[in-house]
Structure 1
Amino acid sequence: MNRWWRLFRHRWMDPGDSRRAVPDDMAERLAARVRASEARHTGEVRLLVEAGLPTSYVLRVHNDAALAAVVRERALAWFGRLRLWDTEHNNGVLIYLLLAENAIEFVADRGLARHVPPSAWQAIVDRLGTRLRAGEVEDGLTQALEEVSALLVMHCPAGPGVPAHNELPDEVLRV
């Protein structure tokens, strides 16, 4: 893709695009699903929809491999910024959508990542991508949240002696 067109697309998009992709009513329903999920395990789940990348990221994209690396780097930066790495049991999960590139990235902290192979995460990403391309944003995100929750319940369940408590906000971030 033309580098200048990519830069224009990322600069053109803004948080309003994220709010249109995930309107307030949908964001509230998704946040309620995150809360319900977190009552069943000790993990923390955050959902972030970003319209476009900062220019410094876009200028480093020269091919598809570089794009994948930049999207991963940006998701990791948000993971740290949102303090998902700082949860008590090190089992936070970020579901990151980058609208300008139609890209999806999942970042799981070490407490969960050591139990779940990359292929399992990729399968969830692939199913979410299929739903998003079909225009089923809420259904796709709901399904992804359910699948992430199932992994967290399996590997990081709440229970006697290990209660679930909410360490981080549940709202969907739209930036």
Structure 2
Amino acid sequence: MNRLMRILKHRWLDERDVARALPPEALARVQQRVAASEKRHSGEIRVCVEAGLPLSYLWRGASARERAVTMFGKLRVWDTEYNNGVLIYLLLAEHRIEIVADRGLNRHVGRAQWQSVMDTMRAAFRRHEFEAGLNDAIDAVDALLAQHFPLRPGEANPNELPDAPDLR
């Protein structure tokens, strides 16, 4: 019965729910924030928002973390020159947040720091402030990337990945 309820919950939500949580204007501001952030460091930030998990994930009882790791690969966040890409993942159906960072940044950032970023996001999301929660996360990831992968004077980030949030 638990599996059936989970499937129904995920199938109930769709792109309209994503649009209610993050209307086009909010998505544009999130995209601008990512673009501005990437002018300060050599890292890449991707935001992915899904209404619900695909049916294949639900049938096998996969977690939001598993999906986030898959999306990290599908969106090619792992494929940056300095291995310093970060995926900020939001699963609306389960109110789950995941951050997946590539090995270059994970060498410098511990689990507790990532948990703190997710806790801040979670608090905003509980208040249904999805844009604010994403902005908080982008700012926190920006600070970490600027600290560990700053651009040298005159250097520019080649912007290896799209700045726009990926919606599913």
* Cα separation, 1, equivalents of 2:125 and 2:6: 21
Deviation at 1:16, TM superposition (A): 2.1
Q: For residue 161 of structure 1, report the CA deviation from its aligned partner.
A: 7.3
- Answer yes or no: is the 8 Å Cα contact 1:90–1:110 preserved in 2: yes
Runs of 4+ in structure 1 off by over 6 angstroms are none
Which residue in 2 is equivalent to 1:139? 132
Task: List alignment gaps of at least 5 residues for structure 2.
Answer: none
Match of 2:78 in 1: 85
Does the 8 Å contact 2:46/2:163 carry over to 1?
A: yes
2:36 matched to 1:43?
Answer: no
SS at match of 2:117: helix
CA-based RMSD of the aligned residues comes to: 1.4
Pairwise mapping of residues 149-164 of structure 1 onto structure 2 (< 5 A)? 149-160=142-153, 163-164=156-157
In the alignment, the residues of structure 1 paired with residue 98 and residue 139 of structure 2 have an alpha-carbon distance, to the nearest angstrom, of 16
* TM value normalised by structure 2: 0.95
2 CA distance for matches of 1:165 and 1:98?
29
1:119 maps to which of 87, 112, 115: 112
Q: Is the 8 A contact 1:84 1:94 kept in 2?
A: yes
Percent identical: 53
Alignment check: 8 A CA contact 1:44 1:84 kept: yes
The answer to whether residue 102 in structure 2 is matched with residue 109 in structure 1 is: yes
Structure 1 residue 174 corresponds to structure 2 residue 167: yes
Greater mean deviation of Cα atoms: 164-173 or 13-22: 13-22
Structure 1, unaligned stretches of length 5 or more?
A: 62-66
Q: Separation in 1 of the partners of 2:40 and 2:65?
A: 28
On the 8 A contact 2:21/2:128 being kept in 1, the answer is: no
Count of residue pairs the alignment pairs up: 168
CA deviation vs aligned residue, 1:50-83 (integer Å, no higher than 9, x gap): 000011211233xxxxx6xx21110011110111
The answer to whether the 8 A contact 2:41-2:149 is kept is: yes
1:162, distance to aligned residue in structure 2 (A): 5.0
Whole-Å separation in 2 of the counterparts to 1:55 and 1:79: 19
Provide TM-score, normalisation by structure 1. 0.91
